[in-house]
Amino acid sequence: MSEEGRLASVRWSAALSALVVGLNLSVMNVAFADLRTSFPAAPVTTLGWVVSAYTIVFGAVLVLAGRLADKLGRRSVFMTGLAVFAGGSVLAGCAPWLWMLIGARAVQGIGAACITPASMGLLLDATPVSQRAAATSFYSGVSSIGAASGPSLGALVVDGSSWRVAFFLGLPVLVVSYLLGRRSLPPSVAVRDAALPDLVGAVMIVAAMTSLSFGIVQGRVWGWRNAWIVGAFVAAALLVPIFVQRCRRHPSPVMSMGLFRRRSFAASNVAALFFGMATGGVALANVLFLRDVWGYSLVGAGFGALPAAVTAMCVARTVGRMGVRHGELAVGIPGALSIVAAMLWLHGFVGDDAHYWTAWFPASVMLGFGIAASFPMISVAVVRGIGTDELSLATATNRTFLQLGNAIGIALVVAVLGATTAADARSEFRLAWTVLAVLGLMCTMAIAVTGSTTRVALVGADQPA
């Protein structure tokens, strides 16, 4: 194989794996509506764990998997991640019980966490420095296709068969990624003297986020004074400071506490957390609204969510250039405010009667622009002033906060909509959009706190998967 052909295979192997990771979450937002027909006895609050289990585990294991890739070799971790993700997909698609489905989604999260940092590391290692900007743009573009096509593709598949088939969509792509990687990726080089990643710390993050999500989701149903709910919040509150102390002492922690002394790094991660909460929550809420209130078919609801993703893809290059020219704050703050405006538009103009083009479409465009303009700027701000030896760690930490934000946002939406009836459906969705607007505003404030308005180079800044 020529060097040019090998590099092309590496690019496609890495990018296709990212496409599947992006496709997986967006497909589930549509498939979630069909889950209720297979598990009619399960409340919405319980079904929400099918989505949350993936995002919690993905976020908690992400940095740990990146460190493991550095120790054992990126190729080994990448190939293992593909196999684990494929196994979780098969298990989820065949799961006869809800608890097995939730467990399989957690397995998928582990696989996705192994794939994401290892694939980018392999891509950058194999690409000459002069071509890295083009390679990362290609990687991000293919990944965005997965996220953008997920709702519509998932809706077509689920409507034609069932939600189970949605889990098999990515398997052929994973096989191609594996075969391309097997013949082109460089052998793994293990670093024997590198410290083992902190497995206990990762488990603590999973436990803390699970407790917090459980308290949020079940609190409205069981009552906020219920002993289990209080215990869940107390457990989460106790685990966080213990986790921080462990990260300060462990030689290979889940998160490097020293980086948080930088204002731009700390504020950018807070921004990623609130961004994930707002966008993760609205992705689920909007599909459920189109399905439950406006009575759209599953296919209609899937395609109804498409304009936001298409808008984000169309404006990504333009806002990237604006960021280079004017700085991340000049683009990121208006972008986050556009997300807030989209939520407020939905709150104020979307009613019981379906008026897609005049009421729904404008909000989708605003949301898509906001996503494209804000998250790449957060990705740039988080690595401002970071040394090259810590770039991967800083980026993985930011992605962790994004995924954990997604988990909390989904939990909030499920909590608000869990007991919704036909009579009060619109008011409950309006409450959900109000909460999400507040989260978007918090994201705006966090971006503003990052500080600098200097011009930046958006190399490798991509849309969230």
Q: From CA 315, how far away is CA 370, in angstroms rounded?
A: 10
Which of 106-120, 323-337, 390-404, 423-437 shows the lowest mean pLDDT across its residues? 390-404
Report DSSP state, residue 170: T
The closest alpha carbon to 450, from 379, 368, 387, 401, belongs to 379
pLDDT of res. 396:
81
pLDDT of res. 445:
96
Mean pLDDT across the stretch 311-322? 81
34-44 pLDDT, tens per residue?
787 888 888 87
Dihedral sign, Cα of residue 108, residue 111, residue 117, residue 120 = negative
pLDDT of res. 150:
79
Q: What tokens appear for 445 in the block? A: 């404030």
pLDDT of res. 389:
63
pLDDT of res. 458:
47
pLDDT of res. 283:
87
pLDDT of res. 105:
94
b/e map 312-337, b = 16+ CB within 10 Å: bbebbeebbebbbeebbbebbbbbbb
Most confident of 40-44, 137-141, 409-413: 409-413
CA 110 to chain centre: 13
Instruction: Answer left, alpha or beta for residue 308, where phi above 0 means left and psi between -120 and 50 means alpha.
Output: alpha
pLDDT of res. 186:
79
Q: From CA 217, how far away is CA 215, in angstroms rounded?
A: 6
332-388 pLDDT, tens per residue?
999 999 999 999 999 999 998 999 999 999 999 999 999 988 988 888 888 787 776
pLDDT of res. 81:
95
Instruction: Answer left, alpha or beta for residue 185, where phi above 0 means left and psi between -120 and 50 means alpha.
Output: beta
CATH of domain 1-195: 1.20.1250.20
**Residue 174 pLDDT exceeds 90:** yes
Q: Which residues have C-beta within 8 Å of that of residue 3, sequence separation ≥ 6?
A: none
**Residue 236 pLDDT exceeds 90:** yes
102-135 pLDDT, tens per residue?
999 999 999 999 998 888 778 877 877 677 656 7
CB-CB contact of 76 with 65 (8 Å): no
Q: Helix axis angle, 98-126 relative to 391-417, nearest 10°?
A: 150
pLDDT of res. 459:
43
How would residue 254 be classed by pLDDT, with cut points 50, 70 and 90?
confident
Q: From CA 365, how far away is CA 40, in angstroms rounded?
A: 34
pLDDT of res. 267:
95
What is the pLDDT of the chain when averaged over all its residues?
A: 85
Which option is the CATH number for 256-465: 3.40.50.12780, 1.10.3720.10, 1.20.1250.20, 3.40.50.300? 1.20.1250.20
More confident residue, 57 or 460: 57
Dihedral sign, Cα of residue 375, residue 381, residue 387, residue 390 = negative
pLDDT of res. 464:
65
Q: From CA 459, how far away is CA 376, in angstroms rounded?
A: 10
Helix (H) or strand (E) holding 174: helix 171-184
Most confident of 286-300, 402-416, 428-442: 428-442
pLDDT of res. 180:
93
Which of 128-142, 252-266, 382-396, 450-464 shows the lowest mean pLDDT across its residues? 450-464
Q: What tokens appear for 394 in the block? A: 């800083």
Mean pLDDT across the stretch 426-455? 88
CB-CB contact of 112 with 24 (8 Å): yes
Residue at 264: amino acid letter: S
**Residue 460 pLDDT exceeds 50:** no
Instruction: Please tell me the pTM assigned to this model.
Output: 0.83
**Residue 421 pLDDT exceeds 60:** no
Q: From CA 178, how far away is CA 122, in angstroms rounded?
A: 13
pLDDT of res. 218:
84
**Residue 175 pLDDT exceeds 80:** yes
Mean pLDDT across the stretch 228-245? 95
Mean pLDDT across the stretch 19-41? 81
**Residue 60 pLDDT exceeds 80:** yes
